[in-house]
Amino acid sequence: MDRAESVPGPYQVRTDRVIPPLGTAAGRLSRRLDTDQVRTPGEWSSYDGRMTPEDRFPGPELPDSGPRHQPDLDVLPYGSYYEPPEPDQGYGYSTTSGYGGARFLEAHWPAASHPHAPVAQAPEGFPVAQPPEGFPAEPSAEDPPTIELGPPLGEFGAPVEEMNFPYPQPEPGEAPGPLYVVGDVHGYLDELLAALHQQGLIDDEGHWSAGRSRIWFLGDFTDRGPDGIGVIDLVMQLAAEAAAAGGYCRALMGNHELLFLGAAKYGDEPVQSTAGTASFLAAWRLNGGQQQDLERLQTHHISWLSRLPALALEDGHLLVHSDTTAYLEYGESITEVNDAVHHLLTEEGADEWWDCFRRFTKRFAFRGEAGPQAVHELLGAYGGHRVVHGHSPIPYLTGSTHLDDGTPPHVPGPYIYADELAIAMDGGVTMEGRLLVARLPLN
């Protein structure tokens, strides 16, 4: 059951969800698979246009209620505000959205009143609060074959013996199945299950039922929502089940994966940012990091997340997480970019990792008059005829955020823009929009 509770400030957040473990029959059967039942009217958030840092961080009395309406932190000076650009012509926009910096987090959620673990909870055999040797962890035979990026990584990225998984491969010449993309999930497991079930991709118990279909998640599994680790577990499960059925389920690395892994590895270690000294853990909290996700993070999650690609090309669609041209700074081909990001995560230090997170947090490059040219730059370098991305919620792209009466944004589906060269897939589930699953191509 869900409960909406009032907190200081002009909005409501849902602060408690009773969710049985996904791996149990009760957990699967308890998921609400009718999209009309995902939320009740009492769970909509009312929004007055501009939110202060005090509004965004309810404090230690409600530690699990994270910010819901804010865009991602883009490394601004402490106490500054984020001002979204003007919306595309044809859409009204009368509100702004701001957030404060680390000083407000410390004031309203002090570390002393809400203990945290700077590293992931280690599996049996590793000391508590100590990262396992060789982060990212060495993969095991149980790791699902979700991506094809060469042999699995050993300690600090060193190749290890290639593993063969007992999954059938498509017959030569066999036509691929239909292609689907999934927008940002941000820990909303119930909504993800409902959206996948509505498309016929999973059955009533949450198992793969899509045969040879192909699914790409566009990144951002965690933060803001209540069960990011449950989302990751589901995607890993579907990856194995899809491979067994002749399809596949794969995922891109989003900026929240970079931030989550950085918080697990570096914790409070200072990093140099354009706004001064920062830390992954503070930034992760500012961006809706959920303590229970950090505590449940295991080595197999770290191994899987660390190997996700940044870019992919499927059926003429260039799949990226962020609507930015920052990918061009990491390589002139998809392979170069993916290799550069994986090298950074396994060989470089905290400052380089932070810089990558900062670059992939940029947004709105495909909007306005210069938007089509920015899309052409990516397509010219990496191929394809359309870019498909997540990251920027469609209500921010269109300017259709919450109305004065608290009515949530209306998101009918994916948003095609930039002279029909770009498709936005983040339906704004964190701001009471929709979690989008769409079959490509779109007309």
Give pLDDT, residue 128.
37
User: What is the mean pLDDT of the segment spanning 175-196?
Assistant: 97
Q: Which of 174-178, 227-231, 315-319, 360-364 has the lowest mean pLDDT?
A: 174-178
With CA atoms as reference, report the closest residue to 232 among 314, 138, 299.
299
Task: Kindly tell me the sign of the dihedral angle through the C-alpha atoms of 41, 42, 48, 54.
Answer: negative
Q: What is the DSSP string of 143-203?
A: S-----SSSPB-GGG-B-PPPPPS-PPPPTTPPP--EEEE---TT-HHHHHHHHHHTTSB-
Residue labelled with tokens 């999650």: 301
Percent of the chain's residues with pLDDT above 90? 56
User: What is the mean pLDDT of the segment spanning 371-387?
Assistant: 98
Give pLDDT, residue 196.
98
Q: Which CATH number fits domain 2-440: 3.60.21.10, 3.30.457.10, 3.90.1640.10, 1.10.10.10?
A: 3.60.21.10
User: What is the mean pLDDT of the segment spanning 80-94?
Assistant: 35
User: What is the mean pLDDT of the segment spanning 73-87?
Assistant: 37
pLDDT tens digits for 111-167? 333 333 333 333 333 333 343 344 443 333 433 333 333 333 333 333 333 333 333
> Among 41-55, 253-267, 406-420, which range has the highest average pLDDT?
253-267
Residues in the chain: 443
DSSP H helices, 31-183, are 53-56, 102-108
- Residue 341 structure tokens: 């990001």
Give pLDDT, residue 406.
76
Distance CA 368, CA 390 (A): 18
Give pLDDT, residue 188.
98
Mean pLDDT of the chain, nearest integer = 72
User: What is the mean pLDDT of the segment spanning 293-310?
Assistant: 97
Burial of 172 (0-12, 13-18, 19+ CB in 10 A): exposed
Instruction: With H, G, I as helix, E, B as strand and everything else as coil, classify residue 18.
Output: coil
pLDDT tens digits for 236-245? 999 999 999 9
Give pLDDT, residue 408.
83
Task: Kindly tell me the sign of the dihedral angle through the C-alpha atoms of 122, 59, 275, 323.
Answer: positive
Kindly list the distances between the CA atom of residue 109 and the CA atoms of 61, 67, 120, in Å, as whole numbers in the listed order: 9, 13, 20
Reply yes or no on whether the pLDDT at 328 is more than 60. yes
Distance CA 434, CA 182 (A): 11
pTM of the shown model: 0.67
Instruction: With H, G, I as helix, E, B as strand and everything else as coil, classify residue 318.
Output: strand
Reply yes or no on whether the pLDDT at 316 is more than 80. yes
Band of residue 405 on the pLDDT scale cut at 50, 70, 90: confident
Give pLDDT, residue 170.
55
Are the CB atoms for 213 and 178 separated by under 8 Å?
A: yes
Distance CA 377, CA 381 (A): 6
**Lateral strand order in the sheet of 317-320:** 311-314, 317-320, 386-389, 422-424, 415-417
Band of residue 215 on the pLDDT scale cut at 50, 70, 90: very high
Band of residue 172 on the pLDDT scale cut at 50, 70, 90: low
First to last CA, the chain: 38
Reply yes or no on whether the pLDDT at 53 is more than 50. no
- Residue 9 structure tokens: 């400030």
pLDDT tens digits for 332-348? 999 999 999 999 999 99
